[in-house]
Structure 1
Amino acid sequence: MTEVFVTLFVIMDPVGTIPIFLALNRGRSAATLHRAAWQAVAVSFAVIVAFAFFGQQILGYLHISLPALQAAGGLLLLLVALELLTGKEQEATAAADVNVALVPLGTPMLAGPGAIVATMVFSQRVHDLASFAAVALGVVLVHVALWLAMRFSTPILRLIRDGGVMLVSRISGLLLSAIAVQLVADAVRAFVAGEG
């Protein structure tokens, strides 16, 4: 359980999610932020569980390799990062019918390629009830940590105000773009090595 929790905690990074969560939800009410927090976590949890049980079958049926999934997730994250860097996320989040909690927060940011692949690897090690309980508990605890981080991001918003959110969103965009490029680079390396 500890290995599952620590691995997913590092990959999904609840603390690092806070500035991106605030940037994507800039200008929205506290109630909307709270709703977005649980929606993002619910989407992430559903995606992770689906891939834990059916990941190999889904990828096999669609003839998709893990590096291809990783590259696609990296490109999607790069688009989000560019929006954060240029400030265009305001245009996207200004519309009331746009729910950033589902995409890009729920997936591919929380339930991204790294988390999906890690969960699929852990699920392959499940051979009895004890190992199943350990993996399940690790996944649940990470999602609880994600929810707590985003749910209590409102006091942070009050502290740093709009100017701080703008600064944090630019820094987050830069870091997120680096993560995205790394994902794509790892996928390309895997393709070259013949793993894809």
Structure 2
Amino acid sequence: MKLNFDFNQLLTVTFTLFAVIDIIGSIPLLHALKKKLGGLHEGKATLISGALMVLFLFGGEQFLRILGVDQRSFAVGGSIVIFILGLEMVLGIELFKSEPDSKASVVVPIAFPLIAGSGTLTTIMSLKANYETTTVLLGIIVNLIFIFIVLKSMDFIERMLGPAGMIAIRKFFGVILLAIAVKIFSTNLRGLLK
């Protein structure tokens, strides 16, 4: 059996996922979560988010159908969590209370919705409709490697930016996160209300 592999398609899928995941833009939030939780559990967070992405690649639509949830409702729910995280970043307040066990917080909010959020999972299902499953899977793997490197390099990134730089980037990307949440919410809510 011959695999139809196109490097340009892999680049397109990889960069699409990179833009949606936006791990660089999440650095200020990850920094805040690291201080709040006492650590990010980088390997576990990467593996759990990767498992969610692969799960949705192979069975996302069926999984949501079993739960009786459509893609739009899933996206609206995820956008609300993203909006709350954005508010925390901009206002410097704590709305999302951390779990007493920091390992439990690896799943929510780090693996989901921060890394493998509703936008990422919906994008994966959309990419599967347009590209070979193998290409989408490789795109996911490339992004997971980059995510792990960023999570492992948080201390270095923090030193490079300094406290003032972290605050400035946190506020800026908080506004970006709010805008993304509003866009996801309004786009999908319109579809639900039709």
Normalising to structure 1: TM-score of the pair?
Answer: 0.81
- Once the two structures are TM-superposed, the CA of residue 171 in structure 1 deviates from its matched residue by 2.6
Say if 2:43 is the partner of 1:43. Answer: no
Between 137-146 and 95-104, report the one with greater CA deviation: 95-104
Partner of 1:105: 110
Runs of 4+ in 1 over 6 A off after TM superposition: none
Partner of 1:168: 169
Q: Which runs of 5+ in 2 are unaligned?
A: 1-9
Superposition CA RMSD, Å: 2.4
Query: How many aligned positions are there?
Result: 184
Say if 2:193 is the partner of 1:188. Answer: no
The residue correspondences of 1:101-180 to structure 2 (distance < 5 A) are 101-125=106-130, 131-180=132-181
Q: Which runs of 5+ in 1 are unaligned?
A: none
Q: 2:49 touches 2:115 (CA, 8 Å); kept in 1?
A: yes
| Cα distance between partner residues in 1 of 2:96 and 2:58 | 37
- Once the two structures are TM-superposed, the CA of residue 96 in structure 1 deviates from its matched residue by 5.4
Normalising to structure 2: TM-score of the pair?
Answer: 0.82
| Cα distance between partner residues in 2 of 1:161 and 1:50 | 38
Partner of 2:6: none
| Cα distance between partner residues in 2 of 1:22 and 1:160 | 11
C-alpha spacing 1:18/1:73, structure 2 compared with 1 (3 Å)? same
C-alpha spacing 1:90/1:116, structure 2 compared with 1 (3 Å)? closer
Partner of 2:7: none
Q: 1:37 touches 1:147 (CA, 8 Å); kept in 2?
A: yes
Partner of 1:14: 23
Q: 2:49 touches 2:111 (CA, 8 Å); kept in 1?
A: yes
C-alpha spacing 1:27/1:162, structure 2 compared with 1 (3 Å)? farther
- Once the two structures are TM-superposed, the CA of residue 27 in structure 1 deviates from its matched residue by 6.5
